[in-house]
Amino acid sequence: MNSTLTNSAAPAVSPRVDVFEDENGLTLLADMPGVPRDKLTIDVDGDTLRIEGELGESEPAQPLHTEMPAARYRRAFTLSRELDSSRIQAESRDGVLKLRIPKREQAQPRRIEIVTA
């Protein structure tokens, strides 16, 4: 069996997320402690943004006690049409995934020049 299929069927926790909006777009901050950068996946399919992360393995031994219900984070968001999903930028630092989702140019505020007739 393909390990990718096995892992994707594992129970997942929804990471806590803060979303901030400014005139140029959205910033999404997702708490994903213990997830190494190479175990993060960010996908856009149509208007759906999905983030997934798998916890890094710290010890090969059997755990004696664990309070983490799953070894995977998973969350999905519906993107509005005013956002430009082709220009999403992502970075991960100190257990926080930061996504910058810019607005389409048509959706950004702009100043209209007044011409004298």
**What is the pLDDT, as a whole number, of residue 107?**
65
Query: Is 22's pLDDT higher than 50?
Result: yes
> Positive or negative CA dihedral for 97, 36, 44, 6?
negative
Mean pLDDT computed over 17-38: 94
Enter the tokens of residue 44. 């856009």
Domains of the chain: 17-56+69-102 (2.60.40.790)
Task: Say how far apart CA 51 and CA 85 lie, in whole Å.
Answer: 13
Query: Mean of the per-residue pLDDT values for the chain?
Result: 84
CA angle 102, 104, 15 (to 5 degrees): 35
Burial (CB < 10 A; 0-12, 13-18, 19+), residue 12, is middle
